[in-house]
Amino acid sequence: MIVVAALLRFDTLGARPLWSDERAVAAFVAQAEREGFARASSPAGPKSPRTEAQLSPLHVALAYASAHRFGGSPAALRLPSVLAGVATAALVIALGRALWGGPVGLVAGALFAISPYQIEYAQDARSYALFVALATAQLGAWLLFLQTRRGAWLVAFAVAGAASLYAHHLALVNQAALAALAGATALRGRIARDSANRARAFTGREAGLVALAFAAIALLYLPQLPNARGFLRSGVANALVVLAPSPRFVHELAGRWGCGRGAAAWLYEAAFVAGVFSGWRTGRPVLALLAWILCPIVVFSVVPFSKFFDLRYLMAGQPAFLQLVAAGAVACIEEAERRLRSSAPAHARTASLALASLLLLAFAVPAARAHLSLRRLPLRCSEFFLEPRILDLASGACRRYLVLNTLVPEDRYLLRVVASAAVDGSAEAVPRGPESR
């Protein structure tokens, strides 16, 4: 599955030109080549990671190193994202094996490997694939610490958390989710009446180590605060808005995190629900995975912001989503085999393998169709900001498999206005989109 992930992400790595935000990274790298990385990264630099919202210190350092070693081609600038995407596939497999067992880890890794959404961002010379890799590593370290109570996992948790904050500001939301999970675990020990829940709670020493890990993350993040303030000030509308979750939003989200709309989205949703019930019944950390997925949605639904909404704001939740989808798929296969063993034991194994093959095809065929559609595009899907026609190419592949964004007229239902705020001179609360520029 790791090899498959690598092949799909390297497949069209340099086939399409850099788009607008990628060109900002290329401009910084070119400046760093001329003036030196330290000078280009200083606060006074015209495109330093401290003054440009779309640049992150950790990613531009890796992009600079890649371009310095392999040249400034699109493929070289995108290489850090590809490697991060492949690393995330390995992390998803390892996390699934640790939490659920080998079959779930393998299926989760396969779903991540073939995800059109993750393939697209792994070929993007921006920080999103790196952010997802580090966020997944931090979540995995946290869950393994809860499972083993070994201090080494807390060290990995703090390192991955600090690094993720230097990869993207969205990691702040993930720190909030993890802090809530830590608080819930500590509180459970105080209010639990049964010995099982008390055993899962922190001891005094463990609570101190957890607090120390969060303090280390906060301390390491302090130099990044100026960039965060610049990012928060980079509004694009004259109103404050919040996300407006609805059944349609959930279905569209599952479609992008799965392999498209229609039957593929329903399959992912059904497997996800089955995974939640199966994990709950077997004592897996379902609540932690759900909290990880839901926390960004809740934050963007409660805290007003002035930027448009894009699906990538939630993308760190996709690996956890795929863990539960994989768990549900494996649970259905195992349950079918168990029932067949009691009624037709001679054919139980064959029937379960046939069911597994059908599920594999049901997941793989839409992904293959999406990949073949997206790889034919002459421009990257993100280019719809500047080239609206990209949404209509290849039968609307970008819109169908990737784009969920309030700059697209069909997606305007995502936000609701909660207050007016003079952020810039635009005339509407939600931007009209590239076609009106």
Q: Across residues 193-202, what is the average pLDDT? A: 61
- How do residues 298-336 score in pLDDT, each as one tens digit? 999 999 888 889 999 999 999 999 999 999 999 999 988
Q: Which of 61, 275, 274 is nearest to 166 (CA)?
A: 61
Angle at 35 between CA 30 and CA 37, to 5 degrees: 75
Cβ atoms within 10 Å of 105's Cβ, excluding its own: 23
Per-residue confidence (pLDDT) for residue 426, from 0 to 100:
43
Per-residue confidence (pLDDT) for residue 431, from 0 to 100:
43
- How do residues 352-403 score in pLDDT, each as one tens digit? 889 889 988 999 999 999 999 999 999 999 999 889 999 999 999 999 999 9
Q: Is the pTM of this model over 0.85?
A: yes
Where do we find the tokens 């592949």?
Answer: 397
Cβ atoms within 10 Å of 234's Cβ, excluding its own: 14
Q: How far apart are the C-alpha atoms of 135 and 162, rounded to whole Å?
A: 10
Helices assigned H by DSSP within 258-317: 263-282, 286-302
Per-residue confidence (pLDDT) for residue 52, from 0 to 100:
64
Q: How far apart are the C-alpha atoms of 431 and 437, rounded to whole Å?
A: 10
Residues in the chain: 437
Transcribe 192-252 into DSSP letters.
Answer: --SHHHHHHSPPHHHHHHHHHHHHHHHHHHGGGHHHHHHHHT---SSEEEEE---HHHHHH
* pLDDT, averaged across the chain: 88
Angle at 293 between CA 288 and CA 298, to 5 degrees: 110
pLDDT at 226 over 90: no
- Model confidence at 198, pLDDT cuts 50, 70, 90, reads low
Transcribe 45-90 into DSSP letters.
Answer: STT-TTT-TT--HHHHHHHHHHHHHH-SSHHHHHHHHHHHHHHHHH
For the chain, give the percent of residues with pLDDT over 90. 66
- How do residues 22-70 score in pLDDT, each as one tens digit? 999 999 999 999 888 888 887 666 666 766 666 889 999 999 999 999 9
pLDDT at 80 over 70: yes
- How do residues 243-285 score in pLDDT, each as one tens digit? 999 999 999 999 999 988 788 899 999 999 999 999 999 889 9
Per-residue confidence (pLDDT) for residue 432, from 0 to 100:
42
